[in-house]
Each structure stands twice: as structure tokens, then as C-alpha cells.
Amino acid sequence: MSGAGGARRWHAAYALLPTGLAREVTFEVTDGRFTSVTPGSPVGDAALLPGVVLPGLANAHSHAFHRALRGRTHAGGGTFWTWREGMYAVAAQLDPDSYLALARATYAEMALAGITCVGEFHYLHHGPGGVPYADPNAMGEALRQAAAEAGIRLTLLDACYLAGGLTADGHLPLGAEQLRFGDGTVERWAARLSALRPSDGMRRGAAIHSVRAVPREALAPVAEAARGLAPAAGPLHVHLSEQPVENEACQGFYGLTPTALLDAEDVLGPRTTAVHTTHLTTGDIAALGRTRTTACFCPTTERDLADGIGPARALRDAGAPLSLGSDQHALIDLLEEARALEMHERLDSLQRGRFRPAELLAAATAHGSLGWEDAGRLEAGARADLVAVRLDSPRTAGIDPAQVLLAATAADVDTVLVDGRVVVESGLHRLGDVGALLRKAIEPLWEDM
């Protein structure tokens, strides 16, 4: 499997290449990149990969600490807004050490699901009461370390969070439970972001938490800060129109939809990702398509929180690329997120085949929306990320390998390479028992709640 210059070789019976499904494919990797991807080749001395090989998956929207809420918020029903109270309660207990433990386990769970890069929409910045840590980026550094130890790449989307909400009368001050999220001014937020340095496995981006949390006068400065990140302009992400209440408040105060407000302030564009985009007007859809803004759908979260079904097909037809995220981690399974994109469209339209399998795979591998344009493809020169999905499980036995996204789950992931390094093998993560890591990180958070 190893050769001169650190080259390594793997072989798969099936692989989803940019040209479609290929058979008997050999992958040669040197210095973390594919140097050749050769269909119709003999096995030779290559290591065998089971099933069908996919490019590494990109989780374009994550809040790592929300993983502690899984299976804890369902007893009383409620709404997005009541769910948020539980989220605040968990956030209040975390410090850099406990956040490291939780995020490391969460990112390891992502690796087990075939995710090789995560976009962390990060707003848990400061200590209790909003007091900065000695290192103002201590919580971001915990996320950097967590991703490195879990073996996946990280785009840290540092969120500006200045207001506690929006009504038809204007923005509200931060509530006590939100003080940890805010920097006070957009200038202090930008200064803290500039002090966070990129590294081999981490890139920086910026985020506007929402039009609820960032007043109009701060929108353009946040976008400008994202464009000014070195060595290359960083991605800019924003929660958009997840709830009708947000739309109503924005329309009432600004006389614009949230999308129209972002468009007016030059926030939209090819480096911007709008997350959720659930409740849009036809004008909103046209604006997102015209500006080539990516729309990130998080179907398992959107159904868990009863948010609604967003216009994914209409956005794609208008020109907006699509990406996928697991958001609050009700489930960490990008294969299910991709399948749900199609299934939610079927429920809404009463039609099947709204997205072709290749379109679903493109959404699940949208590394470019996280600033890693050289990942997400099984081709020479790309980062050597791959995911081998078994074809002999009760879920996948007998399927057409080209339609694996419509059948497999995260439980069928066998092998994961990230930048040529084996992170998951035979369904086991290099850190060991990920379930035990999750229990150890989560259970103490609920002992007094």
C-alpha cells in the first residue's frame, strides 16, 4: 500500500467520480492529495475498500454544543422558541475544557458519518456574563483542537451577535443568557476575529447570526471583514428566514424581508451561504439565485424543530447552489440530510425525483462553501478525502451503487480518509469508543437540570 515518496494506494469496486459511477477504481495518494484516480484498473498491491466510495462529505452548518440537546427536548412538545431555552441552559455551563470534550466527541461522530470537513457556526465566545477569557478566542481554540483530534478539517465561522432580538419596534438588547455570545460592537467582534489565526486544518470565516441579532448598520461591516480575511477571502454565513416571526419583525421594522435587507447591504454573493431559507418570497428566491448565494438546508433539524420545508428546488433552479448541514445534531448523518432534501420536496410537491442522485451528492460535498475549493471530488489534484460505504448491510444489500444516497445511512460508513489519513476504519474511529466520549461530555451537563 505504501511506495516511494509516501505514496499510498487504495482500490474500490465502485466509486462515484465526477463523471458518474465507475468500476474497479484505484486511488493513489501522495502528501494528502490524489495523484491519480484510475477506473478499470487491477487491484495490484492496493488496499481494498469495501462497497462504493464517495468524496468526503461537507457538513456546512454545525453548532457543536447543540449535540447535548439530542433526545432531551421532546417530552413537552413546544416550539423553536421553547427549544431555544434548553439551548441557552446548556451553553451557560460550558467552558473551554468542557467545550473541547463535547466538540471533540461530536466531530468524531461526524467522521464516523463520512464528514471530512465541518463549518462551525460559532457564537459561544465568552465566559459567564459575557466576560472575555484571558484568550478572547479560547472557545474557538477549543473547537480548533477538537477538530484536529477528531481528524476532520474545520472552517470556523465566527459569528457577530450584537442584539437580543428584533421586533417591529426595533432591536432588543442582549438578554442575560445571550451575553456570552456578544462582543458589544462590530469593531470589537472584527478585532477578535482578526486575532484568530488560520492553520493547516482550520480556515476562518465570518457569520452574521441573523438579522435579529445584527442590526442593519453592522451588516456591511461584517461582510467586509469576511472579504478581508487573509490569505484569502473567507466564507460568510447567515441564518436566514428560519421562522416566520423573524420575517414579520424584519418587515415591520425595516420594511424589507430579511433576504432583501441582506441584498440591500451587499451581503449576498458567491462566498455567502444563507442557512435554512425556509420561509421565502418569490423575490427572495430570485435574489438568492441572482447573486449565486448558496442555500444551506438542514432537513433533520428543520423537521425536528417544526420549522417547515424550504424551497430547495426553486432555489437551485434560480441559480443558488445548495449545501447541507446537521445544525443542532438531532441526527448526524449527511446521507440522511441528502435523502431528506429529496423526500421533503416530494412531500411538498407530490412529485418524485425532484433531485437527481448526482445533485444530492453535490449538495453533500459542498466544501467550496466552507472555503475548501480543492476538496469534495475524487480526482487527481484534489484533497484525498474519501468515504467507503458498505453495500452488504441490511439497508444497502442489493441496491444500485449509483443510488447509494437514497438507501444508506451513517451506520453503513466503513472507511474514511481525510487528507490521505485514515480516520475511520472498519466503522471504528481512531479515538476509540465515540459513544463513551459523548456520554462523558454530555451527561454532566444535565445532572442539575
3-state secondary structure (DSSP) of residue 10: strand
Q: How far is CA 177 from CA 87, 124, 137, 214, 240, in A?
A: 10, 11, 19, 17, 22
Task: Give the CB-side neighbour count of residue 418, counting CA atoms within 13 A.
Answer: 30
> What's the N-to-C CA distance of the chain in angstroms?
51
CB 364 within 8 A of CB 377: no
Phi, psi of 368 (to 5 degrees): -60, -30
Mutual angle of helices 357-364 and 334-349, in 10-degree steps: 130
Beta pairing partners, 27: 10, 37
Rounded Cα distance, 428 and 436, in Å: 13
For residue 11, is it left (φ>0), alpha (ψ between -120 and 50) or beta? beta
Rounded Cα distance, 79 and 84, in Å: 9
**Opening angle at CA 207, ends 322 and 277, nearest 5:** 40
DSSP string, 107-128: HHHHHHTTEEEEEEEE---S-G
Beta pairing partners, 297: 324
Task: Give the CB-side neighbour count of residue 95, counting CA atoms within 13 A.
Answer: 8
Rounded Cα distance, 337 and 424, in Å: 20
Rounded Cα distance, 317 and 309, in Å: 16
Given 284, 327, 333, 385, the catalytic residue: 327
125 belongs to the catalytic site: no
Rounded Cα distance, 166 and 172, in Å: 6
Given 276, 329, 367, 429, the catalytic residue: 276
276 belongs to the catalytic site: yes
Quick one: DSSP state of residue 325? Answer: -
Beta pairing partners, 327: 62
Q: Which residues are catalytic?
A: 276, 327
